[in-house]
């Protein structure tokens, strides 16, 4: 029997601890190798905010190389937008198989990497255009409280509400673009907003799912 090194990937530390998504990946890999391959080792890569930070991938590739094993990935589709991962996989010289795409090969992942990089640049361009359009209309995406310092309390309150509504409207342009790419959960949208370096309504850089929900709710009620 041929030997296999399994690599699983989860998107957050919390997901990695809870096993959410991990068990399904393990089940898929075990079903694939059952009776046909010997499992040498398993590695779990928890994606960080740094796209280039892939320590477990490096370890898994090394283990596969020195043991003459095949690297087995449960779902290549979940990595189809990660150009760096795909190129590392392609250039490693290690044989690999993806359970969800058993016909994938070095050429396949190379093409996927080119597409992923093109999409990354397109997303960055659309985000810049959306923010530039908002600024051109005189709307500022950032800390709205500083814009009303020194004004009367009632006037300040009205101004804050007005700016909040406008900010929500402009953020919705970016959020809709993210949703169009297939990311629809609050947490997923929050991660993508942070990856695109879009400021929160209060001018911060760390997005949470609840903030996305509030933006969407404000737009509905506006």
pLDDT tens track for 159-182: 555 655 566 777 887 888 888 878
Say whether both 10 and 108 belong to one domain.
Answer: yes
Say whether both 196 and 96 belong to one domain.
Answer: no
Strands 70-73 and 37-46: unpaired
pLDDT above 60 for 31: yes
Q: What is the pLDDT of residue 41?
A: 92
Range of the domain at 156: 137-221
Contact by Cβ (8 Å): 69, 3:
yes
Say whether both 56 and 108 belong to one domain.
Answer: yes
Q: Of 109-123, 138-152, 190-204, where does mean pLDDT reach its minimum?
A: 138-152
Among 95, 112, 129, residue at a domain's last position? 112
How would residue 42 be classed by pLDDT, with cut points 50, 70 and 90? very high
**pTM for this entry:** 0.48
Q: What is the pLDDT of residue 6?
A: 93
> In sequence order, what DSSP letters do the residues of 137-157 get, joined into one string?
TT---S-SGGGGTTS-HHHHH
Mean pLDDT value across residues 65-83: 75
Tokens of 88: 């590392």
pLDDT above 60 for 95: yes
Contact by Cβ (8 Å): 189, 183:
yes
């Amino acid at each position: 029997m041929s030997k296999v090194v399994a690599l699983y990937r989860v998107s957050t530390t919390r997901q990695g601890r809870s096993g959410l998504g991990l068990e399904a990946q393990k089940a898929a890999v075990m079903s694939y190798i059952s009776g046909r391959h010997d499992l040498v080792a398993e590695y779990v890569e928890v994606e960080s905010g740094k796209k280039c930070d892939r320590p477990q991938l490096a370890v898994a590739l090394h283990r596969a190389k020195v043991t003459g094993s095949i690297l087995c990935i449960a779902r290549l589709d979940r990595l189809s937008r990660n150009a760096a991962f795909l190129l590392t996989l392609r250039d490693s010289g290690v044989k690999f198989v993806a359970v969800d795409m058993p016909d994938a090969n070095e050429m396949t992942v190379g093409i996927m990497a080119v597409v992923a990089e093109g999409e990354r640049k397109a997303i960055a361009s659309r985000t810049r255009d959306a923010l530039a359009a908002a600024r051109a209309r005189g709307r500022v995406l950032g800390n709205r409280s500083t814009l009303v310092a020194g004004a009367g309390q009632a006037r300040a309150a009205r101004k804050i509400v007005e700016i909040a509504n406008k900010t929500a409207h402009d953020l919705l342009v970016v959020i809709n673009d993210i949703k169009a790419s297939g990311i629809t959960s609050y947490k997923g949208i929050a991660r993508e907003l942070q990856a695109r370096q879009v400021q929160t309504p209060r001018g911060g850089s760390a997005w949470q799912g609840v903030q996305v929900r509030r933006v969407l709710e404000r737009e509905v009620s506006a």
